[in-house]
């Protein structure tokens, strides 16, 4: 209960008074509506809105989060319409005009807006196509990790007992592995590297932190009295899980997913760097940065532009994550 | 403890508890957990709750009051015993049958801030029981929710609001509306007012009493506030360390407490009269309540009882038996034939000093 609610409503209305229109002032103030005419007009306002409409109403007040959404939408558009947006073929090596006579990459120019890479390929086009790889991996791998984490975390936290011991000790074992080595081992064991193998590998590697977070949250939520009340009113276990427990997990899920997408983009870059990620000539931002490491003094754009792309993507997902977390919490409404 | 058999109401009690036990295991180990002991939160309770009455359940913190209430509603796993609702054993129900039976029994919780799901609107909170039990058609559900809110004194137009927009007292009313949604006969009130401001307590108590009259409800009213229990209850059960030590009609218990523990408990209630307060001697129990993980042998109270007798109280379990008409107590020292041992608080207090064996008072 926030202090504001207390001050606007210092005295509990009497049993009869509670229904009296005069008492309405307290509520209209709480809801932030301008009218103090009584119950009816004020409630009309809220009555039309569903949960999602309210979340959106709160979300759109957050300017930073909206900026994040704009960036993500732009990224998605760029990724989807890459073939139409890219000025050049991302894999074509312009050995004639794309390289200097010494064989070095050329800087930004009217022909190659962001310069070329060490093989004379257009940087802009490669970045545009690279967005596809980063987004697909970032979203799918995290979705996969999230799915596993939520299922295992809720199962362990709600049902306790042997199931909990098994799941949580397994995550301990998983986390004791050096993640990177584990991913290398997995991706070499599973067929030949591709985006889908990457999604699978990253998902399998990253479900453990998610499981732990969800497990901890569920442990505290399941002891709350409203869960007992739900059991008492005859809710099925499934209903308790998705109606009473899951909504309280939205905040941690969103925060960890937004952070996770950032981590995943970097993880993909690392795997691509050692040759287990996206295979050339398919461009990926991480791979482009690792390609640039020997040239960044003479051709800084090789590193700067993909770095900016990764930074912007990570930032956008973090901002949106923060905004969503606040928007999902009804108690944040008055901020 | 079959001594407690209800003979007053012709159609039998609404809820009967027989030798109820709830033990929480104490485990050690991470992967392979070994049971190293048990907290005997509730250790052999038997009593009846009559139709339409309010049975008060009092006792110190940690004596198992709340666990008893939760166990009756099957929120805790029973270690043993029976909970008979209109003669059918709830302890053996599970799954769908249990969920159906839950319509008849509800609970009002202690903490109005934790008992409402903060992510649901009032309409969903109060309407969910209707949905789950299919009590109303979709269109009628909103009307029923408004009706319920009105019944407990909440503006029905706030149906789309969230719990955090309400004060503690209002939230408690919402919790009551949710409990009433399934049209229960029996409600466990687990310290429903102890988390509320003093100014609001009376309102909630009055609301509960009004609802009881209007809807013919039966309450198990759990509290540690003796004066509130006195106000609302028809009969009162006193618990100590997982057992009922005394069970009697309201007036009788407060006027002639039989069990030494009840006497001590009642003497601890301050009297708002400085003259009386000056003259009377409160029975101050020494020591702490023993751990329910290893309760004392015999009578659980013998380690702190001012009148305990060696060789009897520390060996033999006292049985809850009728010592006066409709008055039950579990104490070896009360003789039911002619009730010579009905003692006033002063008698017991003075016996603390003059008692021949110097064992009873100190902590064990």
- For A4-64, what is the HEC assignment? HHHHHCCCCCCCCHHHCHHHHHHHHHHHCCCCCCCHHHHHHHHHCCCHHHHHHHHHCCCHH
Neighbours of B291 (CB within 10 A): 13
User: Quick check: B162 and A1 in contact, CB under 8 A?
Assistant: no
CB contact (8 A) between residue B175 and residue A229: yes
User: Is A18 inside a domain boundary?
Assistant: yes
Please report the pLDDT score of residue B62 as a whole number. 81
Report residue B235's pLDDT band, with 50, 70 and 90 as the boundaries. very high
Closest Cα in chain A, distance from residue B116 (Å): 5
Tokens of A34: 């301008």
CATH topology of domain B15-245: Rossmann fold (3.40.50)
User: Quick check: B239 and B231 in contact, CB under 8 A?
Assistant: no
Among B106, B158, B169, select the one facing A232 at the smallest CB separation. Answer: B106
- Give me the sign of the Cα torsion angle B288, B292, B293, B295: positive
User: Whose structure tokens read 């309770």?
Assistant: B45
From the list B263, B204, B182, B220, the residue with the least C-alpha distance to B73 is B220
Among B162, B167, B178, select the one facing A233 at the smallest CB separation. Answer: B178
From the list B318, B321, B292, the residue with the least C-alpha distance to B305 is B318
CB contact (8 A) between residue A330 and residue B197: no
Please report the pLDDT score of residue A40 as a whole number. 41
ipTM for the whole predicted complex goes beyond 0.90 = no
Neighbours of A209 (CB within 10 A): 18
Among B31, B99, B203, select the one facing A169 at the smallest CB separation. Answer: B31
Residues in chain A: 335
Which of A29, A224, A229 is most worth mutating to test chain B (most B CB atoms within 10 A of its CB)? Answer: A229
State in Å, rounded, how far the first CA of chain B is from the last one. Answer: 27
Domain shared by A44 and A80, yes or no: no
User: Is A283 inside a domain boundary?
Assistant: yes
Domain shared by A11 and A122, yes or no: no
Domain shared by A166 and A266, yes or no: yes
Among B115, B128, B155, select the one facing A225 at the smallest CB separation. Answer: B115
Which of B141, B157, B184 is most worth mutating to test chain A (most A CB atoms within 10 A of its CB)? Answer: B157
Can you give the residue ranges of every domain in chain B? Answer: 15-245, 256-354
Domain shared by A263 and A169, yes or no: yes
Domain shared by A120 and A231, yes or no: yes
Instruction: Tell me which H or E stretch contains A254.
Output: helix A250-273
Tell me: pLDDT of B356 over 50.
Answer: no
Please report the pLDDT score of residue A290 as a whole number. 79
Report residue B249's pLDDT band, with 50, 70 and 90 as the boundaries. very high
Instruction: Tell me which H or E stretch contains B69.
Output: helix B65-72
Report residue B11's pLDDT band, with 50, 70 and 90 as the boundaries. low
Cα separation, B155 vs A18, in Å, equals 6
Tell me which chain B residues have a C-beta less than 8 angstroms from the C-beta of A49: 160
> Considering chain A, what percentage of its residues have pLDDT values greater than 70?
81
Of A204 and A245, the structure prediction assigns the larger pLDDT to: A245
Domain shared by A148 and A252, yes or no: yes
User: Quick check: B181 and B126 in contact, CB under 8 A?
Assistant: yes
Region B158-177 average pLDDT: 90
Q: For B179, which residue in chain A has the nearest alpha carbon?
A: A233
> Residue A175 is part of a domain; what is its CATH number?
1.10.3720.10
Domain shared by A77 and A33, yes or no: no
Tell me which chain A residues have a C-beta less than 8 angstroms from the C-beta of B165: 5, 27, 30-31
Please report the pLDDT score of residue A185 as a whole number. 81
Report residue B53's pLDDT band, with 50, 70 and 90 as the boundaries. very high
Tell me: the pLDDT tens digits for A117-169?
A: 777 788 888 888 888 888 888 888 888 988 999 999 999 999 988 888 899 99
Domain shared by A205 and A110, yes or no: yes
Q: Which residues of A touch B (CB under 8 A)?
A: 1-2, 5-6, 9, 11-12, 14-16, 18-19, 23-24, 27, 30-31, 39-40, 42-43, 46-47, 49, 165, 169, 224-226, 228-236, 239, 243-244, 247-248, 330-331
Tell me: pLDDT of A105 over 70.
Answer: yes
Tell me which chain B residues have a C-beta less than 8 angstroms from the C-beta of A226: 114-117
- Specify the range with the lowest mean pLDDT, choosing from A174-178, B92-96, B171-175, B310-314: B92-96
Which of B150, B158, B173, B193 is most worth mutating to test chain A (most A CB atoms within 10 A of its CB)? Answer: B158
User: Quick check: A226 and A245 in contact, CB under 8 A?
Assistant: no
User: Is A306 inside a domain boundary?
Assistant: yes
- Specify the range with the lowest mean pLDDT, choosing from A274-278, B29-33, B40-44, B220-224: B29-33
- Specify the range with the lowest mean pLDDT, choosing from A82-96, A320-334, B220-234, B249-263: A320-334
CB contact (8 A) between residue A19 and residue B153: yes
Tell me if chain A has a CB within 8 Å of the CB of B9. Answer: no
Q: Which domain holds residue A314?
A: 63-332
Please report the pLDDT score of residue B339 as a whole number. 47
Domain shared by A36 and A141, yes or no: no
Closest Cα in chain A, distance from residue B114 (Å): 5
CB contact (8 A) between residue B115 and residue A226: yes
Tell me: pLDDT of B219 over 60.
Answer: yes
Number of domains in chain A: 2
Neighbours of A8 (CB within 10 A): 15
- Produce one character per residue of A69-89: b if its CB has 16 or more CB atoms within 10 Å, e if not: bebbeebeebbeebeeebebe
Closest Cα in chain B, distance from residue A331 (Å): 7
Tell me if chain A has a CB within 8 Å of the CB of B175. Answer: yes
Tell me: pLDDT of B83 over 60.
Answer: yes
From the list B145, B150, B147, the residue with the least C-alpha distance to B160 is B145
- Specify the range with the lowest mean pLDDT, choosing from A46-50, A87-91, A295-299: A46-50
User: Whose structure tokens read 């009259």?
Assistant: B213
Of A96 and A18, the structure prediction assigns the larger pLDDT to: A96
Please report the pLDDT score of residue A271 as a whole number. 80
Region B288-309 average pLDDT: 84
Tell me: the pLDDT tens digits for B329-350?
A: 888 887 655 444 444 444 444 4
Neighbours of B310 (CB within 10 A): 12
Q: What share of chain B is helix, strand, coil (3-state, %, to 5)?
A: 35, 20, 45
Q: A63, exposed or middle or buried, with CB in 10 Å at 0-12, 13-18, 19+?
A: exposed
Tokens of B34: 């070994």
């Amino acid at each position: 209960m926030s202090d504001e609610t207390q001050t606007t409503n210092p005295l509990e209305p009497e049993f009869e008074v509670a229904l009296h229109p005069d008492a309405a002032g307290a509520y209209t103030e709480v809801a932030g509506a301008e009218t103090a005419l009584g119950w009816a007009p004020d409630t009309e306002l809220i009555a039309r809105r569903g949960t999602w409409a309210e979340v959106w109403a709160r979300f759109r007040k957050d300017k930073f989060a909206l900026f994040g959404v704009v960036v993500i939408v732009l990224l998605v558009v760029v990724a989807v319409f890459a073939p139409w947006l890219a000025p050049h073929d991302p894999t074509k090596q312009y050995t004639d005009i794309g390289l200097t006579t010494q064989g070095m990459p050329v800087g930004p120019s009217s022909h190659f807006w962001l310069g070329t890479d060490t093989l004379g390929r257009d940087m802009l086009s490669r970045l545009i196509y690279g967005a596809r790889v980063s987004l697909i991996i970032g979203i799918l791998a995290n979705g996969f990790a999230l799915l596993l984490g939520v299922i295992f975390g809720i199962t362990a936290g709600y049902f306790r007992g042997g199931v909990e011991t098994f799941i949580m000790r397994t995550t301990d074992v998983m986390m004791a592995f050096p993640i990177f080595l584990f991913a290398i081992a997995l991706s070499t064991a599973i067929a030949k590297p591709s985006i889908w193998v990457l999604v699978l590998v990253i998902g399998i590697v990253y479900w453990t932190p998610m499981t732990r977070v969800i497990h901890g949250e569920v442990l505290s939520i399941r002891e709350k009295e409203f869960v007992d009340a739900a059991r008492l009113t005859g809710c099925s276990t499934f209903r308790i899980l998705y109606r009473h427990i899951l909504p309280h997990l939205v905040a941690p899920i969103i925060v960890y997913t937004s952070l996770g997408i950032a981590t995943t983009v970097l993880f993909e870059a690392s795997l691509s760097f050692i040759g287990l990620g996206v295979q050339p000539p398919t461009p990926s931002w991480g791979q482009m940065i690792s390609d640039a490491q020997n040239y960044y003094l003479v051709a800084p754009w090789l590193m700067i532009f993909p770095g900016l792309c990764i930074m912007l993507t990570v930032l956008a997902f973090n901002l949106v994550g923060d905004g969503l977390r606040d928007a999902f919490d009804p108690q944040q409404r008055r901020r | 403890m079959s001594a407690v058999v209800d003979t007053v109401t012709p159609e039998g009690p609404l809820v009967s508890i027989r030798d109820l036990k709830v033990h929480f295991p104490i485990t050690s180990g991470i992967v392979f957990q070994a049971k190293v002991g048990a907290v005997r939160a509730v250790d052999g309770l038997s009593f009846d709750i009559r139709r339409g009455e309010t049975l008060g359940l009092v006792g110190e913190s940690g004596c198992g009051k709340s666990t008893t209430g939760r166990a009756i509603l099957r929120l805790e796993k029973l270690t043993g015993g029976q909970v008979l609702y209109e003669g059918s054993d709830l302890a053996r129900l599970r799954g769908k049958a249990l969920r159906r039976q839950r319509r008849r029994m509800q609970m009002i919780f202690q903490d109005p801030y934790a008992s409402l799901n903060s992510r649901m609107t009032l309409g969903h909170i109060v309407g969910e029981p209707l949905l789950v039990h299919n009590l109303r058609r979709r269109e009628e559900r909103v009307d029923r929710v408004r009706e319920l809110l009105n019944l407990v004194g909440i503006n029905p137009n706030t149906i789309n609001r969230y719990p955090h927009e309400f004060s503690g007292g209002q939230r408690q009313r919402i919790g009551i509306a949710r409990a009433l949604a399934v049209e229960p006969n029996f409600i466990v009130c687990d310290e429903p007012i102890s988390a509320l401001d003093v100014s609001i307590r009376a309102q909630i108590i009055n609301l509960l009493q009004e609802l009881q009259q209007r809807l013919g409800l039966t309450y198990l009213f759990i509290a540690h506030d003796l004066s509130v229990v006195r106000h609302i209850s028809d009969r009162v059960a006193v618990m100590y360390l997982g057992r009922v030590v005394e069970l009697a009609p309201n007036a009788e218990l407060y006027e002639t407490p039989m069990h030494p523990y009840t006497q001590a408990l009642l003497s601890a209630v301050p009297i708002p009269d400085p003259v009386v307060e000056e003259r009377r001697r409160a029975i101050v129990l020494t020591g702490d309540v023993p751990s329910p993980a290893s309760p004392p042998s015999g009578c659980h109270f013998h380690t702190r009882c001012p009148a305990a007798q060696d060789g009897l109280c520390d060996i033999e379990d006292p049985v809850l038996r009728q010592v006066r008409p409709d008055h039950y107590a579990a104490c070896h020292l009360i003789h039911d034939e002619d009730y010579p041992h009905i003692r006033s608080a002063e008698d017991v207090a003075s016996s603390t000093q003059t008692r021949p064996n110097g064992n009873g008072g100190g902590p064990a």
